[in-house]
Amino acid sequence: MKAIISASELATDLAGPRPPTLLDIRWQLSTAASPRFDGRAAHAAGHIPGAVFVDLDADLAGPPGPVGRHPLPDMDHFGAAMRAAGVSADRPVVVYDDGPGWAAARAWWMLRWTGHPDVRVLDGGLGTWEGPLATGVEETTLGDFRPAPGAVRLLDADGAAALARTGLLMDARAGERYRGEVEPIDRVGGHIPGAVSAPTMENLTEAGHFRSAAELAERFKALGVTEGTEVGVYCGSGVSAAQQVLALTLAGIPAALYVGSWSEWSSDGSRPVAVGSDPQ
């Protein structure tokens, strides 16, 4: 099953006899220097016709705390949010955002992890859509999706630490955060000992599309992926790392997501922290 879809392919599918459920997951990382982005207002101002807005912070994550800034949501709440957005088990789903695919990939990963069989990310996001935009709020028909967690592998803090020693653990954040030179959000900068730096923006072309499967495979090979390598990914809070899991999927490489990521790891002062460009 394809994990991404182009804007032209989406337009064809939406006009067909079995159009996908379309979810707008626009979201931006908030920091002290960057106020909270209002995705719901952006959606109301203009979205792909038929799309329903899903709030990443409220529906794709639980409340922030010791287990991270974007921990897994309560499954009853997540299921209800997906059904309210029209998600059904037997209907394809397409998710999109307006950035590098981080938020859309979080929705893609959540639906895959909970057992939905057909979810794709709009490659390049909303900016690639050449059709008209709708405004306001769409009416929806209640879906029937019931989440069944565990369809793909998930890492906790101990699992991530072990994988950094026995397999390949990728840090999907920008290189300066990995090296500990800056840390705009979490308690301390640096990385999980043994993790390798693998910024998500390198998965994309200059135009913002995912690189080809062959190019991605070469990228991950250079980072240390070989046949049989067990791979895991983390980031700041389990959002941008989902985009890396998506890129690995495009390259034919299964990978586990550490949802708690650095926001969970760094919250516990007893956990070791590495700094600099050396994984160790």
Q: Which amino acid is at 183?
A: E
Query: Do residues 121 and 219 both lie within one domain?
Result: no
Contact in structure between 71 and 259 (CB atoms under 8 Å): yes
Same domain, 183 and 218: yes
Domain shared by 199 and 116, yes or no:
no
Look up the domain containing 27 and give its range. Answer: 4-128
Q: Indicate whether 189 and 246 sit together in one domain.
A: yes
80 in a domain, yes or no?
A: yes
209 and 102 in a single domain? The answer is: no
- Residue 58, pLDDT score: 96
Tokens of 255: 């990978």
Instruction: Give a yes or no: residue 233 inside a domain.
Output: yes
Q: Measured between alpha carbons, how far is 5 from 3 in angstroms, rounded to an integer?
A: 7
Whether residue 173 sits in one domain with residue 103: no
Angle, helices 240-250/102-113, rounded to nearest 10 degrees:
70
Q: Is 239 a member of any domain?
A: yes
d(CA 189, CA 185): 9
pLDDT of residue 49: 98
CA distance 209 to 71: 27
List the structure tokens of 77.
């709440």
**Distance from C-alpha of 280 to C-alpha of 272, rounded to nearest angstrom:** 10
Write a three-state SS string for the chain: CCCEECHHHHHHHHCCCCCCEEEECCCCCCECCECCCCHHHHHHHCECCCCEECCHHHHCCCCCECCECCCCCCHHHHHHHHHHCCCCCCCCEEEECCCCCHHHHHHHHHHHHCCCCCEEEECCCHHHCCCCCECCCCCCCCCCCCCCCCCCCEECHHHHHHHHHHCEEEECCCHHHHCCCCCCCCCCCCECCCCEECCHHHHECCCCCECCHHHHHHHHHHHCCCCCCCEEEECCCCCHHHHHHHHHHHCCCCCEEECCHHHHHCCCCCCCCECCCCCC
171 found inside a domain: yes
Give a yes or no: residue 138 inside a domain. Answer: no
Q: Are 86 and 188 within one domain?
A: no
Q: Are residues 91 and 163 in the same domain?
A: no
Q: 231 vs 102, 111, 155, 198, 248, CA distance in Å?
A: 19, 20, 11, 12, 9
d(CA 31, CA 24): 22
Quick one: 162 and 102 in the same domain?
A: no
Q: Based on the domain organization, do 108 and 159 belong to the same domain?
A: no
Q: Are residues 27 and 109 in the same domain?
A: yes
Is residue 106 assigned to a domain?
yes
Q: What is the pLDDT of residue 28?
A: 87
Instruction: Give CA angle at 91 (103, 209), nearest 5°.
Output: 35
Please check whether residue 235 lies inside any domain of the structure. yes
pLDDT of residue 99: 82
Last residue within a domain, chosen from 110, 128, 146: 128
| Tokens found for residue 94 | 């397409």
Catalytic residue IDs? 235
Residue-wise pLDDT tens digits, 217-235: 999 999 999 999 999 999 9
What pLDDT score was predicted for residue 29? 77
51 located within any domain:
yes
- Round to whole Å and give the CA distance between 138 and 50: 6
pLDDT at 25: 98
pLDDT digit string (tens) for the chain, length 280 residues: 699 999 999 999 999 999 999 999 999 876 555 667 899 999 999 999 999 999 999 999 999 999 999 999 999 999 999 999 999 999 999 999 998 999 999 999 999 999 999 999 999 999 999 999 999 999 999 999 999 999 999 999 999 999 999 999 999 999 999 999 999 999 999 999 999 999 999 999 999 999 999 999 999 999 999 999 999 999 999 999 999 999 999 999 999 999 999 999 999 999 999 999 999 8
Q: How much is the pLDDT for 201?
A: 96
- CATH number where 33 lies: 3.40.250.10
Residues 121 and 205 in one domain: no
- Contact predicate 188/273, CB 8 Å: yes
Which of residues 85, 113, 128 is at a domain's end? 128
How many domains does the chain divide into?
Answer: 2
